[in-house]
Amino acid sequence: MNKKKIYLDYAATTPVDSEILEAMLPYFSKGYGNPMSIHGFGQEALEAVDEARDRAADFFGCAPSEIFFTSGATESNNLAIKGILKSFRILQLQTKKDIKPHIITTKFEHHSVLDVCKAVERGGFAEITFINPDKEGLILTRDIEKTIKPNTILVSIMYVNNEIGTLQPIAEIGKKLKKINEERQKNKQPRILFHTDATQAVNYFNCTVDDLGVDMLSMSAHKIYGPKGVGILYIRKGTPIKNIQQGGDQELKMRAGTHNVPAIVGLGKAISMIKNQKTKEESNKIKKLRDYLIARVLKEIPGSYLNGSKNMRSPNNANFRFDDIEGEGLVLSLDLDGIAVSTGSACSSGALEPSHVLLSLGLKHEQAHGSLRITLGKHISREDVELLILKLKEAVERLRKISGNVLAEFK
């Protein structure tokens, strides 16, 4: 008899919804034209791409011309940061000024922001300030304000942390930067641009770009029940950004490369499904299950703690740490029981180092190593959560016994 399998790693990726898959299928073998071709096959594909762009623009509350399709949020984040730096560098050469630009970000960004910022800092292309979150995993607007310098050109803050699920005050930061930019304009200083990685937020929170006050926003389709390999970078009209990839005139010359038409269609369908009543009901169900899970684990498993804010967090995220437990051991143990969870970001699951996100909260290495990320989705039931709790309690008890026996042998 096959063991029931339960997937609880929705922050890593989501299964493609059947409606979304159905919308994509014709563009693999029937509407297979290249959107850049002027013949009928190409124009049919172009119509599909344009419809997806319109759907995304409607969701984000922007013009279709401000939506740029990419291979996903990692590419979008790279384009946002490197594209702004490239534009700034070109302006410097034209004006014969030599000012090193300053970028503000956080210590717990996704690696596609963090590593890019570290790379440009090492290369001497920019000065970077990495802000620490507080102990609850929240970024304070006043901490950003304190780090702003005359040469600051970009602030990049993720909307929802991918590991601990904490919700950042993006709209509040946007309002503050707007006021600061008004003063800078009077002093003829460069405007500070604002970028957010909204990959984990799109499914659950307001992403209307004017409400957030952002100039750029990144997202991926595979976090919202769409396909892998496609995403968006929203770029507000007038934002000084240059392409970082050459070889074609696609996406208004901002992103070279043949359009992934089936995936773009899937993204458009996925994003159009978020606003409906069914999705809101699913989100409420997920939050109730998440709250139930957190309450049970903290009550019934000694030495268990919730990482991140209890209230200011994504409705599908529960990130725990356990005393005297290795997170990797828990993941493997639960996997043997048919339950898929993770210790942190899927992009760093092969790393032996403790989570940089948890370390940024001030946790010790051994505490960060004992973490477990559980992320729920619309296919999860109360019965699934009950089984998870049962197997988690068994795994923690078993692993602590093993750990105690091993330590006893060395005494």
CA 198/CA 207 separation, integer angstroms: 8
What percent of the chain lies above the pLDDT cut of 70? 95
Q: Residue 347 — pLDDT band, cuts 50, 70, 90?
A: low
Q: Under 8 Å CB-to-CB from 320, ≥6 apart: which residues?
A: 297, 304, 305, 306, 307, 371, 372, 374
pLDDT in tens, 169-202: 999 999 999 999 999 998 888 899 999 999 999 9
CA 366/CA 299 separation, integer angstroms: 22
Please state the rounded mean pLDDT for residues 332-342: 96
**What pLDDT does 94 receive?**
84
CA 307/CA 134 separation, integer angstroms: 12
Measure Cα distances from 148 to 13, 131, 252, 268, 408 in Å: 35, 11, 32, 37, 53
Find where tokens 């620490």 sit: 132
Please state the rounded mean pLDDT for residues 299-307: 96
Q: Under 8 Å CB-to-CB from 122, ≥6 apart: which residues?
A: none
For the beta sheet containing 371-375, the strands, ordered from the edge strand earlier in sequence to the opposite edge, are 304-306, 317-322, 371-375
Residues designated catalytic:
347
Enter the pTM of the model.
0.94
Q: Residue 344 — pLDDT band, cuts 50, 70, 90?
A: low
Listed residue (72, 169, 75, 78) closest to 118, CA to CA: 78
The H or E element spanning position 71 is none
pLDDT in tens, 120-151: 999 999 999 999 999 999 999 999 999 999 99
**What pLDDT does 2 receive?**
60
172 token code pair: 């509040």
Please report, for the chain, the start and end positions of each structural domain, with discontinuous segments joined by +: 6-15+277-409, 18-272
Find where tokens 């995220």 sit: 317
Residue type, 118: K
CATH superfamily of 6-15+277-409: Aspartate Aminotransferase, domain 1 (3.90.1150.10)
**What pLDDT does 159 receive?**
98
- Does CATH number 3.40.50.1000 belong to domain 18-272? no
Please state the rounded mean pLDDT for residues 59-64: 98
Q: Residue 408 — pLDDT band, cuts 50, 70, 90?
A: very low
Average pLDDT, the chain: 93
Poorest-pLDDT segment among 1-10, 210-219, 340-349, 395-404? 340-349
**What pLDDT does 403 receive?**
73
Please state the rounded mean pLDDT for residues 158-166: 97
- Find the length of the chain: 411
pLDDT in tens, 363-375: 998 888 889 999 9
Please state the rounded mean pLDDT for residues 28-50: 96
Contacts 24+ apart (CB under 8 A), 347-350: 347/74, 347/110, 347/111, 347/112, 348/111
Poorest-pLDDT segment among 89-103, 236-250, 293-307? 89-103
At residue 406, does pLDDT exceed 50?
Answer: no
CA 195/CA 401 separation, integer angstroms: 47
Q: What is the DSSP letter of 223?
A: G
At residue 262, does pLDDT exceed 80?
Answer: yes
Find where tokens 């010790």 sit: 364
Find where tokens 């990797």 sit: 328
CA 87/CA 321 separation, integer angstroms: 43
CA 307/CA 36 separation, integer angstroms: 48
Alpha-carbon torsion 201, 202, 205, 210, what sign?
positive
Quick check: 167 and 145 in contact, CB under 8 A? no
